[in-house]
Amino acid sequence: MVLFIGFLFSTSVFAAELVNERGAGSSCQEFTANRELKVFKDPTLFLPNLGLIMADPKVGWYRLMQENPLLMVLTGRVKLTKLGEAREFKNFGAIARLYELAEPRLRLVDPEASKQPLVKIVPVQVCGEGVLGFVLESDLRLATEALGSAKGLPPSIYPNPVPHWPKP
C-alpha cells in the first residue's frame, strides 16, 4: 500500500511554454528603441468601464472619458513579447474614440472612401510588467531601425555629391 502511494506522488512535473499564433514560443525580445515607442492599453482593460456604463450611464461615460489608453512610452533598452502578427486596427466601439484622441493615426477611416492605408497594430506584452497592450507596426519598425544604418556619411568633397539623410 505504501509503495502504491509513493508511486502516485513520484510523477514528474514539466513546465509549459506559451505558444503564439505562429507556433513559436513566446519569449522576451530585447532591443534598443532609438525613438519613442508608444504602448497602448489592450481594449479589454476597458471592459469594467463598459459594465459601469450599463449600470449608470452618466457615471460610466464620465469614468470612461477619464481613462488614458496610452500605457507607457518606451525608449532605450526595451524588452517586449510579441503576442501575434501585425493586424489592422479595428473598431472597438465607443473605446475607439479614446485611442483616436491619444493618437490621431488611429482614426478609423473607410478604406474604400479614402486612399489612406489602414493602421496595423502588433499585440505585445512588456516583459516584467505583465500588462497587455499593442504598438503601431510602423512605430515598432522605426524604433528598432538603427539610426544611420551605415557607418556614417561619405565626405562631401569632389566627386562625392552632398549626402542626404534617409527620411523617417
- Report the alpha-carbon distance of residue 61 to residue 46 in Å, rounded: 11
* Three-class SS of 83-151: CCCCEECCCCHHHHHHHHHHCHHHCCCCCCCCCCCCCEEEEEEECCCCCEEEEEHHHHHHHHCCCCCCC
Amino acid at 117: P
Q: Along the 168 residues of the chain, how does pLDDT read in single tens digits?
A: 444 444 444 433 333 334 444 444 468 888 888 888 999 998 888 888 878 888 898 988 888 888 889 999 988 888 888 998 998 887 677 777 788 888 888 877 665 666 667 788 999 998 887 888 999 998 988 888 765 444 555 556 666 667 677 776
